[in-house]
Structure 1
């Protein structure tokens, strides 16, 4: 590309342990280059809308119609009013809190005060500055930011207390809207549990005594037991039993899938709060641990050889003479290399390299070193 866009990130491939230098034009996300928007996004309603966000609202509307217009009207009168109050309260709370989490601008306070969102972002010049944020000053937003502020590549602005960028609300989650996001996940999980309880009750009653589900006054004019009414009480529509069963199975399947995803997300954020860390900090710590493990393996060539021989010798070479010979050769080289080691004054053991020494270097084994992962911008997602 002719122009140089804002970000340059150095990422670690944890599977191979190799470094992958990302070009300044974009950041690699799931093997796709993601370009930062030239105009910073204000909140979750800034265009373009993410398709995850569209799916979220479509599922919410569909489950709301199925819950309040199909399945709750099938409950007995006493349970019906309780379900309307409890489930309706949870769904209403979720709707309000979801809108708030999407509408809030999570940017750093100085960014909100001094930034003109209608102006295109400047081009980051790597030759002048090593990082986007240095000494708590963002060279893109041109403002002084807080200590835990990160520059999000998806929104192209500094986010205060950056946790992650959520595709489901199409907005960054930071200190300004984190608890609204957390409440959104918790209320959605509670709503899913209520809907599952209603569906299971309807299913059990249909198998035991279907008449218990036909207590609505509109059923007085319906004589066929194979005919059911949907969208009660305002717009009753007569359908056959098979249609109700199909709708119920689809809603139940969608509910279980949503509950698994939301449940894991809720438990994960409860864990994060217990550890007093953000999603971004958790991911950075995890990558550092993986990098340290890879570096430890690279610095111990015997561990690499052991691993290779165990995988090959126990399998294809396990019982063969070649496999036994390979393992014996490894043991001999280990014992010999004990005699070609010296001890530094500080007590560290190092291997001398020479043509006469049967050390790892003489065997053609090279130690590779990797630098710590460096990031200029933040982008962790749900």
Structure 2
């Protein structure tokens, strides 16, 4: 019996995730602030070089973001199985594939895992990315990794440039932003605030995305997925907990044994002392 449950095909399908929406507005805000207030502060040759680098990175970012968000990493067997109506072919699918998803009610590949957020099985499941609102699997992992690397580069560029140029342009009376001060101090401080907010957002994004890139480099070297890494971490935590419990039980046993030994030691020590005293008394009596 085949399931009719709705399955997400890509990241642009509603409902959108809150982090996905935040990433859109943050990206638009940072890039507009950077192009309007920061790039014009450079000298003419620097503007040309910087603009070329920035446009290339921005183009790659939009292209890869669209490909990752629009991709469909669903297990192809589930797609074919749900479209098929011939019972003989359906039975053949079930016999040839060892795994079966009880939620999708379909045969699946060994590397597939069911994602509850997308309500589908993803082949070569790595993780569900909330920022693009899509599952990352074997079919779109390369695009995802290239995407986060490009995001890292463009945010490093904007963070460094805003930090140095932004500070100088606020202090420089001939800068674009300082020139707005002639129109009124309130407008000037508003522009200054926009630059500082962009700097904070870019800095946080750079830290987060850099950690993410290094993490995926690490698991790629290990030859595991994010999901497998999480499972192994959970197993290690459980093992450590079991070892801690075992060590605690051993300590309790050792404490009880030491107490018993102390008790036995005191009794053994008293016994010879009493017998010795009795012997001394007997000898003294005899001599008298």
2:33 corresponds to: 66
Alpha carbons 2:60, 2:150 under 8 Å: kept:
yes
Give the distance between the partners of 2:261 and 2:182, measured in 1 at CA.
80
1:55 corresponds to: 22
Alpha carbons 1:227, 1:239 under 8 Å: kept:
no
Greater percentage in strand: 1
1:332 corresponds to: 259
Give the distance between the partners of 1:75 and 1:100, measured in 2 at CA.
33
Count of equivalent residues: 248
Unaligned runs of 5+ in 2: 84-96, 264-288
1:290 corresponds to: 237
Alpha carbons 1:297, 1:304 under 8 Å: kept:
no
Residue 304 of structure 1: CA displacement? 6.3
Give the distance between the partners of 1:285 and 1:182, measured in 2 at CA.
22
Encode CA deviations 1:234-264: one digit per residue, 9 max, x unaligned. xxxx984323321111110111111111111
C-alpha spacing 1:210/1:162, structure 2 compared with 1 (3 Å): same
Residue 303 of structure 1: CA displacement? 4.9
Give the distance between the partners of 2:188 and 2:109, measured in 1 at CA.
60
1:169 corresponds to: 132
Give the distance between the partners of 1:112 and 1:84, measured in 2 at CA.
44
Alpha carbons 1:94, 1:188 under 8 Å: kept:
yes
* Alignment of structure 1 residues 108-257 onto 2, 5 Å: 108-115=75-82, 135-206=98-169, 209-211=172-174, 213=175, 226-227=181-182, 240-257=187-204
Give the distance between the partners of 2:99 and 2:255, measured in 1 at CA.
57
C-alpha spacing 1:175/1:328, structure 2 compared with 1 (3 Å): closer
Structure 1 SS opposite 2:135: strand
Give the distance between the partners of 1:298 and 1:90, measured in 2 at CA.
52
Give the distance between the partners of 1:334 and 1:143, measured in 2 at CA.
64
Give the distance between the partners of 1:295 and 1:334, measured in 2 at CA.
28
Give the distance between the partners of 2:54 and 2:137, measured in 1 at CA.
29
- Find out whether 1:92 has 2:59 as its counterpart: yes
Greater percentage in helix: 2
Give the distance between the partners of 2:237 and 2:206, measured in 1 at CA.
30
CA RMSD of aligned residues (A): 3.1
2:224 corresponds to: 277
Structure 1 SS opposite 2:40: helix
C-alpha spacing 1:255/1:299, structure 2 compared with 1 (3 Å): same
Structure 1 SS opposite 2:162: helix
With normalisation by structure 1, the TM-score equals 0.58
Which structure is larger by alpha-carbon Rg, 1 or 2? 2
- Find out whether 1:262 has 2:209 as its counterpart: yes
With normalisation by structure 2, the TM-score equals 0.76
Unaligned runs of 5+ in 1: 1-5, 7-36, 117-133, 229-237, 307-326, 337-382
Match of 2:7 among 28, 36, 40: 40
Alpha carbons 1:150, 1:162 under 8 Å: kept:
yes
